[in-house]
Amino acid sequence: MTSSPGSGARWLRALISLLIMAGAFTAGWFLKPKLGLDLSGGTQIVLETRDAEDGTKANASNTDLVVEVLRNRIDSLGVSEATLSRSGENRIIVELPGVQDPTEAAEVLGQTAQLTIHPVLGVDQSIGTTGGGMFGDFRNAPADNSAEASDSEAQEEESPAEDEEGSEESTESGEEAEAVDPEDIALTLPDESGTLLQLGKPALTGDQVDRAEATLNELQTEWLVNVEFKGAGREAWKKLTGEAACHSPGDPRRRIAIVLDNEIISAPEVDANDVACNVGMSGGRTSITGGFDAEEAKELALLIEGGSLPLPVEEVQRQTVGPTLGAEAIKASFIAGLIGIALTAIYISISYRFAGFLASVALLCYTVIAYAALVALGATLTLPGLAGFVLSIGMAIDANVLIFERTREEYQRQEKVYQANKSAGMLDATEKEQDEAAAGVVTRRRRRAIPPNLLKSFTVGSQRAWSAVLDTNITTLIAAVLLFFLASGTVQGFGVTLGLGTIASMISALLIARVLMEWTVSRFTPLRRLWLIGAAAVVVGLVAVLSDGLRVDNVLLLVSGALGVLAVSVAIIPLIVRKFPRSSGIAHISAVRKWLVEHNPDLMKRSTLWLGITGVVTVLALLGFAVRSPNLGVEFTGGRVMTFSVTEELNADQARELVAGAGYANAVVQEVEGGEISVRTGHISDQEAAKIQDALAEEGGEVERTSDEKIGPSMGSELRNKALIALIVALVLQMAYLAWRFRWSFGLATMLALAFDIILVIGLFVWLGKPIDGVFLAALLSIIGFSVNDSVVVFDRVRDEWAHKPKGDFREIANSSVLHTLPRTVNSGIGGLFILAALAVLGGSSLTDFSIAMLVGLISGIFSTVFVAVPLAIWLQRFDRTPPPHEVKERKTKQRKQQRAIRERTDGAVV
C-alpha cells in the first residue's frame, strides 16, 4: 500500500502533537497545583499600623493606602488570589493561599521600605565609628562602578593603622570644610564600614522610583539592583550628583547615601572621571550592590519598586485558616463539571458522529495542556477559576465546530459537481486519479467525474474557517494580555487563565484535532505502523502491572490504556469512514441547516423590531438600579468578621450549614487554629450577629464570640479602577482590531451588542438581589469573551459572502450569513449550556450564582449576535465608507501582480 500525498506532513504533525501531550502530561502529573483559599485554606496574617515618626496618623484612610502597597508587594511575590482587607481603624487582615514560607512573606509585608537618597554633609567625629547597621542582609553594600559611582572606602579590609589614617584624613577634610549647621543634619547614620555620616534632607524618595530590577552585573559574577527614577526624580538625581562632584575626591561630601528604613545600604562616592561639577549624571539611573545572592537582590528590588509603606506596621497575629468551601461543596462541583463535560462530548459526538468523537478526544488533550500550563506557571486555582476553566473546555469545541460546518459545505459543493458531471455522461475517476485530484495534480487525461473527497473537503473547510478562528482567538488574547498587564489581583489571574486557555484551545483544534481528522478521512490507513503502537501499549502495560499492580492511580497503566485506545481508534475508525462516509459526520449537512437553506427565513426583515425589543429589555434592566441598590459583595463593600469558640466539635461544613440556615448563605465560613469558627459577612447589626451565634450553638455547645471586627473591602478602589481601565482599554482595542480586520461598522456593532449583554446580566442580578462579587466578576469576563467571539464568526461569514456577491443587497447577505452560522452558534452554545446546567443543579450553592450569570450571558450572547449586532451593522452600513471586501481583494490582487511584474523585470535585467 502506498502512502497518500501529504502523509509525511501528517506524520510530522502527529509527532509534534505527541511531544506536546507528553510534556503536558508529565507537568500535570508531577507538579502539584496551588489551590486558593476557598479550596485548601492558607495562612492568615494580621498586621497593625502605627503612627509614623513624621506625625502621620494610623487612621482608616492611611491604613487603606498601606493595603494597596501591600497588595503590590504580594503581586510581586507571585502570590495570586490573596485577599487583603482593613479591619477596624488600623488593622489589616492578609490571607495568603499556598505560601510555602509564611515567615518570609510576613517579613516582606512588614518591611516599611522607606527609601530615601541623601547628600552627605560630613563625618560625625563626636561618637566615633560603630558596627554594622540594623538592616541585616542589606548592610555592607558598596557602590557599583557600572552605575558611574564608586566607593573606594567600602571595598577593602583595612588594618587598624590604616583605619587611623583614614580617620585622620577624614578629620582633615572635615576641618578644611565649612562647619555643618546642625539644623541641616537630617540623620546621622553609620555607613557600611561603620563611619558615622551626617546626612542632609532627602533629595529623592521611593515615590520617585520608576522601576527596580534585580540582575547580574556585566561579568555575571555579582547580583545588583538597578534603580531607575521617573519624572522630577531624574533631575533631582542629576542635581544631587552634580553638587557632590564639586567636592574633591576623598571628601565625605562627595558621597551620596542611599537609605532604606533608616539604614545606609550604600554610600558611593561620585566618580571624578565621569561626573563634572554642577553637571551630574544624566539618565536618572543608579545601581546598588552589596554581595547579595539572587533572593536578597530580588527582595530588595521588590521592596523598592513596590513602594514604601505610609505607616510602619507590626505583625500581631499569624494563624492557619481552613478552606472557605467545604469538602462536600468541592466534591459536588467536581462531579457536576465531569457530568457537564461528558454531556457536551456526547452531544457533539451525536451531532458530528466520528468527527465529534475525535473533537471530544481533542478536548481531553486541551484539558491536559491547559491544566499543565496553569500548574507549571504556578497559577492559583480557585473554585470560580476552575468553573471557568471547565466552561472553557466546552467553549473550546467552537473552533472544531467552525471547521466541521465549513467542511460540510465543501463536501456538499463537491457532491453537486460530481452529480452534474455524472449526468453529463462522465465516467468515475479511478482511485489514482482521485488521489491526484485531491493533491491538486493536473493531468492531460480525459475528464472524469471526481467523487467528493473527505480529506480535500476537510482541508478546504479548515482553510475557510481559519480567518474566523484566528480573529476570535486574537480578540480574546488582546483582552487576556491587557488584563494581565494593567489589572491586578483576581482580575489579573483571570487574564492568565484566559490567555493560557486560548493558546491551548488553538493547539487542540488546529493541531491535535487536525491530526486525528486527517487520519480518519484520508485514504491512507497506517496499519503497517499500528503494531508499533500496540507493542508499546503491551510493554508499558506489563511493566505497570508487574511494578505496581492493577491500581487506578498507576500512571503507567493509564498511559498503556491511552495508547491502546489510540491504536484501536487509528485502526478501526478510518476503515468505517472509508466504507460509510456519512459516519464521519462531515459528509452531510444537518436537518436544521437544510431547513434554513431551503426556507431561507428573512430574519433581518424585522431588524427594527429586534432593535426595539433590545431597547425595551435594556431599559428594564437599567430600571433595576432605580428600584433597588446593587447587592455588592463583601469584596467591594467590606463587612464584619467574627470568630467563635465552641465547646462541641464543629467542622466548617456543619458551621456553614447552620449559618446558611440562619439566612446568611453568602457568608464565608472557615475553621481557624484552635478549633474556632470564623464567619465573614456583609454589614450586619448586633442582633443579626447574635442570630448567627445562636445558630452555631445548635450543634456547637456553648458558643462564645472571641473577636468581632469591621473589615474594609478586599477589592479596594485602586484595584477596581485598574480592572475597569484594563477592561475598557481591552474593549477599545478589540473594536479597533475588528475595524481593521472587517469594517468600523462591524466593530462598533459588536461592542454595542456586548454592552447589551453586560447590562442585561448586571440588571438581572440587581433585580433578583443577588450578590455582585468576585465570582460574578469572573462570570462577566467570561460572557464578554463569548459574546465577542460569536459576533466575529458571523461577521467573518458576512465578509466572505459579500466578497463573492459584490453587487448583492447587504441586508440579504447579512441574513444569509446568519442562517449559515446559526447551526455553529447553536451547537457551540449547547456545549456550554450542558456544563452550566450541571454546575447550577449539581454544583451546590457556591457555584449557583456563577452558573446563573453565565447561563443568562450565554443565551443573551446568542440573541445579541443575531438580533442586535447584525441589525446594527445593517443600519450603520449606510454611514460606513470603507471599501467593500471585493474591492479590497481586487486592489490587493492588482498590487501583487504589479510586484510580480517588477520582480520579473528586475530578474531579467542585464548589468
Residues 425, 458 within the same domain: yes
The confidence score (pLDDT) of residue 881 equals: 78
pTM: 0.69
Angle CA(442)–CA(513)–CA(411) in degrees, nearest 5? Answer: 45
Q: Are 189 and 266 in contact (CB under 8 A)?
A: no
Can you give the CATH number for the domain in which 826 is found? 1.20.1640.10
Residue 201 included in any domain? yes
Q: Which of 659, 687, 711 is the last residue of a domain?
A: 711
**pLDDT of 498:** 78
Distances in Å between the Cα of 105 and the Cα atoms of 78, 111, 261 are 11, 10, 18
The whole-number pLDDT of residue 548 equals 58
User: Does residue 267 share a domain with residue 194?
Assistant: yes
> In this structure, are 889 and 744 located in the same domain?
yes
Question: Residue 719: what pLDDT?
Answer: 64
State how many domains the chain has: 6
**782 and 827 inside one domain:** yes
Q: What is the DSSP string of 389-437?
A: HHHHHHHTHHHHHHHHHHHHHHHHHHHHHHHHHHHTTPPBPPHHHHHHH
Whether 573 and 477 map to the same domain: the answer is no
Beta bridge partner(s), residue 44: 95, 319
pLDDT of residue 164: 44
Q: Is residue 316 part of a domain?
A: no
- Spatial CA neighbour of 155 closest among 67, 236, 266: 266
- Buried b vs exposed e over 491-512: b needs ≥16 C-beta within 10 Å? bbbbbbbbbbbbbbbbbbbbbb
Is the domain of 80 the same as that of 129? Answer: no
- Decide if 661 is inside a domain: yes
Q: What is the pLDDT of residue 889?
A: 64
Q: How far is it, in rounded angstroms, from Cα 659 to Cα 688?
A: 11
Instruction: Tell me whether residue 699 is exposed, middle or buried, using C-beta atoms within 10 angstroms of its C-beta: 0 to 12, 13 to 18, 19 or more.
Output: middle
Of 89, 41, 34, 47, nearest in space to 64 by CA: 89
The answer to whether residue 597 sits within a structural domain is: no
Q: Which pLDDT value is given to residue 204?
A: 86
Closest CA to 711 of 666, 668, 681: 681
At residue 335, the pLDDT reads: 79
Q: Is residue 253 part of a domain?
A: yes
DSSP 784-816: HHHHHHHHHHHHHHHHHHHHH-TTS-HHHHHHH
Domain assignment present for residue 594? The answer is no
Instruction: Give every residue of the chain whose pLDDT is below 50, as ranges.
Output: 1-2, 128-175, 528, 550, 552-553, 908-911
Note whether 215 and 362 are same-domain residues. Answer: no
Same domain for 625 and 643, yes or no, is no
**Domain that includes residue 654, residue range:** 639-711
Residue 421, by phi and psi: left (phi above 0), alpha (psi -120 to 50) or beta? Answer: alpha
**Considering the domain boundaries, does residue 903 fall inside one?**
no
Question: Is 313 within a domain?
Answer: no
* 675, 771: one domain: no
671: CATH: 3.30.70.3400
Q: Quickly list H helices, 78-218.
A: 102-110, 160-176
Q: Does one domain contain both 753 and 836?
A: yes
pLDDT digits 0-9 by tens, 692-703:
999 999 888 888
CATH code at position 232: 3.30.1360.200
Do 463 and 481 share a domain, yes or no?
yes
Last residue of a domain, one of 308, 335, 370: 308
Q: How far apart are CA 236 and CA 243, in angstroms?
A: 11
Say whether both 773 and 677 belong to one domain.
Answer: no
Q: What is the pLDDT of residues 555-593, one digit of tens each?
A: 555 556 666 666 666 667 777 887 888 888 888 888 888
